[in-house]
Amino acid sequence: MKAAIITIGDEILIGQIIDTNSSYIAKALDKIGIATYEMLSISDDKNHIVKTLREVQNNFDVVLITGGLGPTKDDITKKTFCEYFDDVLVKNDAVFDQVKSIIEGIHKKPITQLNIDQAFVPSKSKVLFNAMGTAPGMLMEHQNTVFISLPGVPYEMKYLIDNEVIPYLVEKFERPYIVHKTLITYGRGESLIAEHIEDWETNLPSFIKLAYLPSPGKVRLRLTARGTDEAVLIDSVLNEIEKLKPLIGDIIVGYDEEETIEVVLTRVLSEKHLTLATAESCTGGKIAQLISSVPGASACFKGGIVAYSNQIKIDVLKVNSDTIHKFSVVSKEVVKEMAINCQTIFNTDYAIATTGNAGPTKGNSEAEIGVVCIAIATPNEVFVEEFNFGQPREKVTDRAVYKALEWLYKEISKN
């Protein structure tokens, strides 16, 4: 089965907002065996909407559309639906009662004609009741395609997808199974991984596909299997992963999208009753932010210091000013003191420290742009290394963050 997702709104096309709806819808469809083959963002223009509907008609089993269902004049999806499907708008009493209860009961305002207009839907459509707002969803079956129009407000769209759209599609269509398994790796680039697992990849069963999803500091390997027997698909994917472990097991951190390095590291620290603190300069608190974003991180993470200026390194982290003057602020010597003193200040088992030159200019350091020094203070010793993460600035900071977390994870895992 093939699906297309269309978002309507000039605000998306000019970059004013980010389209998160398409991602949510695609994931929901994938879970029930419907593959998304196309995503489109189009303008609030009647002719362009009609043109797009013609193009997707009969080329996809399901077309999901978000946006353009509000009460204002620029929201034209319902009227355009009527034009395309040769239909008229009629008042839906259930929707009207919902609109009235929200406007008068919750917002304590008199209902206006614009609010009442929300209750008008194409007469041929199946109304998808929106308990979260005033704009109902609409479903139209036309020739070989099911068209589903949803409000663009994310929480309203999510409610309708989960409670109306997915149950309808599950009941209506016979669908294949799609099984995904994602391996999260850190510390090796995409090309090196591909070279190392080339023979394994070549011998994958025809119904299993491998995708490389690289980003600074990590590479996700996604295995996707499609077929009619879910149990066979799951067993086959797990079997291939077992074959992969001897090849790159040393860089695999997790086996699901949620198994990021910060999640796994936090779990290991908590299980071993170990504590962590951070002292960050060039990474600007990103390490602390990632760790503290994990539910339950308070069991192991005590806190962090963002010592961006030299004076804060001296006054708060107690780095010796002579060390900075002699070796430069971006140096192994300085980052080592940062880690040791952070460990002492917070009284933790481990501490991570970073200092570097992320660019675009050198600032007050003689280090080359892209150079980052990382230190890991453990209960017994301090490990220090210098890296050059290149450019641009965002890449430098992201790679530094993930290298520090990866390094600490491997060090803790040894014990």
Mean pLDDT of 386-396: 92
According to DSSP, the residues that pair with 139 across neighbouring strands are 126, 148
Half-sphere exposure of 180 (CA within 13 A, CB side): 16
Rounded CA-CA distance 391/370 in Å is 6
Rounded CA-CA distance 374/359 in Å is 17
Rounded CA-CA distance 119/179 in Å is 40
Rounded CA-CA distance 205/2 in Å is 23
Q: If you write DSSP's letter for every residue of 329-396 in order, what string do you get? A: SSSHHHHHHHHHHHHHHHT-SEEEEEEE--SSS-TT--SPTTEEEEEEE-SS-EEEEEEE--S-HHHH
**Architecture category of domain 177-254 in CATH:** 2-Layer Sandwich (3.30)
* 35-42 and 2-8 beta bridge pairing: parallel
310 Cβ contact list (under 8 Å, min separation 6)? 324, 329, 364
Q: If you write DSSP's letter for every residue of 53-112 in order, what string do you get? A: HHHHTTT-SEEEEES--SSSTT--HHHHHHHHTT--EEE-HHHHHHHHIIIIIIS-----
Q: What's the CA angle centered on 315, arms 400 and 407, to 5 degrees? A: 20
Tokens of 38: 């196309």
Position of tokens 């069963």? 205
112 Cβ contact list (under 8 Å, min separation 6)? 103
| pLDDT tens per residue across span 119-160 | 899 999 999 999 898 889 999 999 999 999 999 999 999 999
* H-assigned helices in 136-181: 154-160, 166-172
- The domain spans of the chain are 2-172, 177-254, 261-414
Query: What is the pLDDT at residue 201?
Result: 97
Q: Which helix (H) or strand (E) holds 317?
A: none
Query: What is the pLDDT at residue 360?
Result: 81
| pLDDT tens per residue across span 358-385 | 988 776 677 889 999 999 999 999 999 9
Q: How deeply is 277 buried, as exposed, middle or buried, from its count of CB atoms within 10 A (0-12, 13-18, 19+)?
A: buried
Position 73 confidence tier, pLDDT thresholds 50, 70, 90:
low
| pLDDT tens per residue across span 45-62 | 889 999 999 999 999 999
Instruction: Specify whether the CB–CB gap between 295 and 307 falls below 8 A.
Output: no
Q: Which residues of 49-81 are buried (b: 16+ CB within 10 A; e: fewer)?
A: beebbeebeeebbbbbbbbbbbeeeebbbbebb
Mean pLDDT of 297-304: 97
Q: Which residues of 229-245 are buried (b: 16+ CB within 10 A; e: fewer)?
A: eeeebeebbeebeeebe
According to DSSP, the residues that pair with 264 across neighbouring strands are none
What does the mean pLDDT of the chain come to? 93
Rounded CA-CA distance 410/385 in Å is 15
Q: Is the pLDDT of residue 282 over 90?
A: yes
Instruction: Specify whether the CB–CB gap between 130 and 151 falls below 8 A.
Output: yes
Position 335 confidence tier, pLDDT thresholds 50, 70, 90:
very high
Half-sphere exposure of 276 (CA within 13 A, CB side): 27
2-172 folds as: Molybdenum Cofactor Biosythetic Enzyme; Chain A (3.40.980)
Q: What is the pTM of this model?
A: 0.70
Domain 261-414, CATH number (from 3.30.70.20, 3.40.30.10, 3.40.630.30, 3.90.950.20): 3.90.950.20
Q: Is the pLDDT of residue 115 over 90?
A: no
Strand, helix or coil at 279? strand
| pLDDT tens per residue across span 76-86 | 888 898 999 99
Position of tokens 């009235």? 100
